[in-house]
């Protein structure tokens, strides 16, 4: 396993001797210095070009921008953490510095221990803030997606009810009216026609209900419902299916069965739309400790990191939605894929003790 890269730090300090000493201390502490700027304008330019993990910024700098002004621009345009260095602790300086939301404040002279403590806290705080920001962006994207899916599903149901079920009921109404107006049509013929139309309407209602939630998931459990789902997908897409379920006859908690089914449904939909696969393997296995589902295809694959980036931007939310579903039941979802080498999805959920199962 490749060790993590050391944090990259940009020094902005107009005293060359101080900057050289600071660089030596940072490297002895295990950090990597990516550059040294001597004024605020240069610090902003180097931060834009190098994108360090943190900027150590002297407050008193020569040039048109002091350290506080430079830090303000770096935070606003690059969202990088800034730690101030200064030999002055005047109240007015501190008041101005606070407005830039710095991640730390080090008074000269300082010890290596003080430097390391402030830097580690600043890096940790920045990582936590970035995680919160990404989580908030994902939540907003998911919320938009939920609304879009709701409207799409409502529109589809409205069209199906109007175009199919509505037409069937209209045909029955016309037949009933014809019985009174047209004596040439026998009641038996009209009755048979009405029965046929009612049968068609019942099939339409069953199909709509199955699309909303397969009854076999409630009646028979996860394994039969998942087999039906995979076989239906294979029939439509034309790939070769291998399905295996190694599970006891006991039923699982409804939220676990529903989550596994919906994640499989999303994954199989993605395979049909994008993978161009010829083979698919679905394995469902339950032990005393956990329930595991794997879905493997030999399709063209994709870049999971790029897909997550699109999800945060609201462009593609399939993977993000599956991860959100898994998280809600305490499950872990791993997706391994690369362009040209297919895709493997692994969903694992810890199970309660045998006595706690439904």
pLDDT digits (tens, 9 = 90+) for 242-287: 999 998 878 899 899 999 998 998 899 889 888 889 999 999 999 9
Listed as own residue / partner, the contacts of 163-170 with beta carbons closer than 8 Å and 24 or more positions apart are: 164/201, 164/204, 165/201, 165/204, 165/205, 168/197, 168/198, 168/200, 168/201, 168/204, 169/201
Helix ranges restricted to H, the chain:
16-28, 40-50, 67-78, 91-98, 112-160, 166-181, 187-212, 215-219, 222-237, 254-270, 304-312, 318-328
Domain 216-356's class?
alpha beta
**DSSP type of residue 275:** I
pLDDT at position 79 is 85
Chain centre to alpha carbon of residue 30 = 33
pLDDT for res 356: 45
Q: Contact at 8 Å (CB) between 12 and 43? A: yes
* Model pLDDT for residues 33-91, shown as the tens digit of each residue: 999 998 888 999 999 999 999 999 888 787 777 888 888 888 888 888 888 887 766 66
DSSP state of 64: S
CA dist 355 and 358 (Å) reads 8
Q: What is the pLDDT of residue 358?
A: 42
Token pair, residue 53, equals 């993990």
Taking only the tens place, the pLDDT of each residue in 312-352 is 554 455 677 788 889 889 999 999 988 888 899 999 999 98
Contact 198, 171 (CB under 8 A): no
312 φ, ψ to 5°?
-60, -35
In degrees, to the nearest 5, what angle opens at C-alpha 35 toward C-alphas 29 and 37? 120
CATH 3.90.870.10 fits domain 8-110: no
Best CA proximity match to 260, nearest among 328, 203, 310: 328
> 250 with 261: CB under 8 angstroms?
no
Cα 82–84–88 angle (5° rounding)?
A: 165
Residue whose entry in the numeric block shows the structure tokens 């990191």:
305
Position with higher pLDDT, 207 vs 58: 58
* Whether the predicted model's global pTM rises above the 0.75 cut: no
């Amino acid at each position: 396993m490749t060790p993590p890269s050391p944090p990259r730090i940009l020094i902005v300090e107009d005293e060359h001797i101080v900057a050289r000493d600071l660089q030596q201390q940072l490297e002895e502490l295990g950090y990597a210095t990516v550059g040294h700027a001597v004024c605020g304008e240069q610090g902003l330019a180097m931060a834009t070009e190098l994108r360090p993990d943190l900027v150590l910024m002297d407050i008193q700098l020569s040039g048109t921008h002091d350290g506080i002004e430079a830090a303000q621009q770096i935070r606003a345009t690059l969202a990088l953490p800034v730690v101030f260095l200064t030999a002055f602790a005047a109240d007015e300086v501190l008041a101005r510095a606070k407005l830039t939301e710095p991640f730390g404040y080090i008074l000269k002279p300082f010890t290596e221990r003080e430097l390391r403590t402030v830097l580690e806290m600043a890096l940790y705080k920045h990582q936590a803030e970035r995680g919160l920001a990404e989580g908030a962006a994902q939540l907003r994207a998911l919320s938009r997606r939920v609304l879009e899916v709701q409207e799409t599903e409502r529109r589809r149901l409205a069209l199906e009810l109007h175009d199919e079920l509505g037409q069937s009921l209209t045909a029955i109404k016309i037949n009933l009216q014809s019985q009174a107006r047209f004596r040439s049509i026998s009641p038996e013929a009209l009755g048979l026609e009405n029965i046929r139309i009612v049968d068609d309407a019942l099939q339409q209602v069953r199909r709509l209900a199955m699309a909303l939630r397969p009854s076999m998931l409630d009646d028979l459990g996860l394994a039969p419902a998942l087999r039906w789902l995979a076989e239906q997908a294979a029939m439509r897409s034309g790939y070769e299916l291998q399905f295996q379920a190694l599970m006891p006859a006991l039923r699982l908690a409804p939220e676990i069965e529903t989550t596994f089914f919906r994640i499989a449904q999303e994954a199989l939909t993605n395979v049909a739309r994008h993978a161009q696969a010829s083979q698919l393997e679905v394995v469902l296995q339950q032990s005393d400790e956990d329930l595991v589902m794997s879905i493997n295809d030999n399709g063209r694959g994709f870049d999971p990191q790029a897909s997550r980036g699109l999800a945060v931007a609201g462009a593609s939310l399939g993977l993000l939605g599956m991860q959100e579903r898994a998280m809600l039941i305490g499950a872990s979802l791993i997706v391994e894929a690369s362009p040209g080498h297919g895709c493997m999805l692994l969903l694992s959920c810890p199970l309660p003790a045998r006595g706690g199962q439904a």
